[in-house]
Amino acid sequence: MDRNKVLFWKLVEPEHLKARAYCRKLMRNREDGDDLYQDSLVSALTKFGSLKETKAFKPWLYRIITNGYISRVRRPWYHRLLPIDDQIEATVAGENPVPMQAAKRRLEIAFRAVSPADRALITLFEIQGWSVAELTGMTGKTAGNIKVRMSRARSKMRDALTKYFAQADPDRRIGTINSKDKVCVVTKPVKD
């Protein structure tokens, strides 16, 4: 193995689990997420010579993953029903799958309201714990631009959930509350 490959795998190692989890969250299932991760690693390894500084490896790798994700979801074959593997796993494990399915359904509805690029930003910031500075390094956008995009994405997600709840139960009043959860939607019974 040449020195570049050794260095590449040394840099991948601390990011491996987080990057794979990011791929799985983006793709919404384990198998497609693992495929995206493997394809991204192959792409990153072939492009590794173009990386100028090893300090920039993390945002560079996540940019490759994000671009691979966006490319995949733009393909017509991607839009299909999601597998029910999680539902089967929860049932086999003896858990009650209904609350988990409902939460996943709401998350899916919220994420469907935003573009793949915005979904990637929200996932990295809210779930993976990236800072705005790290996102600017990955995307090449300004901090202000990142904040505006995330704010607009959260608003679209909130609107999609509000609409979903209003259609699901028209006898409830729908609203949002101020909380740490930037996409929080509350439903209350309408008083008679």
Query: Where does the chain hold its CATH 1.10.10.10 domain(s)?
Result: 97-192
Say how far apart CA 23 and CA 188 lie, in whole Å.
35
Answer for the pair 154, 183: CB distance below 8 angstroms, yes or no: yes
Check pLDDT > 90 for residue 11. Answer: yes
Closest by CA to 82, choosing from 14, 129, 44, 30, is: 30
**What's the rounded mean pLDDT across residues 143-161?**
94
pLDDT of residue 77: 56
User: Which residue in the block uniquely carries the two structure tokens 């929860």?
Assistant: 90
- Radius of gyration (C-alpha) of the chain in whole angstroms: 19
**CATH class of the region 1-78:** mainly alpha
Closest by CA to 32, choosing from 79, 99, 101, is: 79
Check pLDDT > 70 for residue 91. Answer: no
Query: Where does the chain hold its CATH 1.10.1740.10 domain(s)?
Result: 1-78
Whether the model pTM is above 0.85? no
Question: What's the pLDDT tens digit per position in 56-86?
Answer: 999 999 999 999 999 988 876 555 544 444 4
Task: Say whether domain 97-192 belongs to CATH 1.10.3720.10.
Answer: no
Cα dist from 5 to 8, 114, 132, whole Å: 5, 36, 30
Question: What's the pLDDT tens digit per position in 168-185?
Answer: 776 665 555 555 555 555
Q: Furthest-apart CA pair in the chain: how many Å? A: 74
